[in-house]
């Protein structure tokens, strides 16, 4: 079943090349309406999977392995030497302009300024870049629940998710996440990161998975090809990011180019 899910993800990538805009990245959507429960958003996800023949979510998936925080173990997360080493990698993955935007004739970063959705693609591309830089490859951390985070990059001042996924490493004995969509200034201690989304860690569940795990129904523990469509999915969210900044009456050419908001802090 895990391999079957992987083949479905490859199919999504093919559909994206064929130009079907709405059925690719949105299959994995983390979006939750402000008045929608995580359970209802999860049911929408199940319905989308069912359209592609996935009727059952496997035990070896981020959803199947989700547990309370106090049951989570971190032995599969790589250890970084110190805070400075983790911060250096974080800054590089945040700032790397590696995505070719032919519409605007510029190279783009991952869609950090469109937090509404697309965490699965951003996290996967961050992992791919860190591998290219020959740095210790983070694990993936999934969080599930009624998640809401305040952000200046949404007209309402916040966005809501039913799940979120980020790279995670250890610095000493502390788990640390890389999430420029929430905090573009530095890596975050796990407990601080959780507090940005839920007031009580007991209101969420978590799974720590292999670096190649892509979305809630992907294989979790074993290496897989589930993240193959990440680049195609990210390109969809780049379009939304540009439009979002226009909606906020900000200058996308500047903020997505040489003058991102964190460069002014």
Q: Is residue 265 part of a domain?
A: no
Place of tokens 């502390």: 174
Facing residues of 164 across strands?
A: 143
pLDDT at 265: 58
Q: Is residue 227 part of a domain?
A: yes
What is the residue range of 34's domain?
2-253
Q: Is residue 258 part of a domain?
A: no
Q: Residue-wise pLDDT tens for the chain (265 aa)?
A: 333 233 233 233 322 322 333 446 788 999 999 899 999 999 999 998 888 788 788 899 999 999 999 999 999 999 999 999 999 999 999 999 999 999 999 999 999 999 999 999 999 999 999 999 999 999 999 999 999 999 999 999 999 999 999 999 999 999 999 999 999 999 999 999 999 999 999 999 999 999 999 999 999 998 989 888 999 999 999 999 999 999 999 999 999 999 999 997 5
Let me know: does 207 contact 217? Beta carbons within 8 Å.
no
Sign of the CA dihedral with 36 first, then 38, 44, and 48 last: positive
pLDDT at 246: 98
Residue 106 tokens read as 């510029």
Number of domains in the chain: 1
Q: Is residue 264 part of a domain?
A: no
Measured distance CA(164)–CA(201) in Å, rounded: 14
Q: Is residue 261 part of a domain?
A: no
CATH for 34: 3.10.620.30
Residue 172 tokens read as 């000493």
Q: Is residue 259 part of a domain?
A: no
Measured distance CA(49)–CA(5) in Å, rounded: 9
Q: Is residue 42 part of a domain?
A: yes
Compute the radius of gyration of the chain from its Cα atoms: 17
Helices (H), 196-251: 230-247
Measured distance CA(97)–CA(239) in Å, rounded: 15
Q: Is residue 139 part of a domain?
A: yes
Residue 73 tokens read as 């173990």
Residue range 81-133, pLDDT digits in tens: 999 999 999 999 999 999 999 999 999 999 999 999 999 999 999 999 999 99
Residue partners of 190: CB distance under 8 A and separation at least 6:
141, 168, 174, 175, 176, 177
Q: Which helix (H) or strand (E) holds 143?
A: strand 139-150
């Amino acid at each position: 079943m895990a391999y079957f899910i992987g083949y479905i993800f490859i199919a999504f990538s093919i559909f994206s090349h064929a130009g079907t805009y709405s059925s690719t990245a949105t299959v994995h959507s983390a979006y939750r309406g402000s008045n929608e429960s995580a359970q209802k958003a999860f049911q929408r996800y199940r319905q989308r999977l069912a359209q592609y023949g996935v009727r059952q979510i496997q035990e070896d998936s981020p959803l199947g392995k989700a547990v309370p925080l106090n049951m989570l173990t971190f032995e599969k997360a790589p250890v970084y030497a110190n805070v400075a080493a983790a911060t250096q990698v974080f800054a590089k993955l945040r700032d790397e302009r590696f995505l070719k935007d032919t519409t605007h004739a510029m190279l783009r970063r991952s869609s950090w300024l469109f937090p509404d959705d697309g965490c699965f693609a951003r996290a996967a591309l961050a992992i791919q870049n860190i591998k290219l830089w020959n740095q210790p490859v983070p694990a993936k951390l999934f969080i599930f629940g009624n998640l809401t985070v305040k952000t200046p990059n949404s007209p309402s001042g916040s966005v809501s998710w039913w799940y979120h996924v980020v790279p995670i490493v250890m610095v000493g004995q502390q788990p640390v996440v890389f999430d420029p969509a929430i905090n573009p200034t530095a890596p975050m201690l796990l407990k601080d990161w959780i507090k940005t989304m839920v007031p009580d860690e007991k209101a969420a569940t978590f799974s720590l998975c292999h670096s190649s795990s892509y979305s809630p129904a992907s294989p979790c523990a074993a290496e897989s090809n589930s993240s193959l469509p990440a680049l195609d999915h990210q390109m969809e969210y780049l379009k939304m990011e540009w439009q979002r900044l226009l909606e906020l009456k900000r200058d996308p050419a500047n903020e997505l180019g040489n003058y991102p908001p964190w460069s002014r802090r």
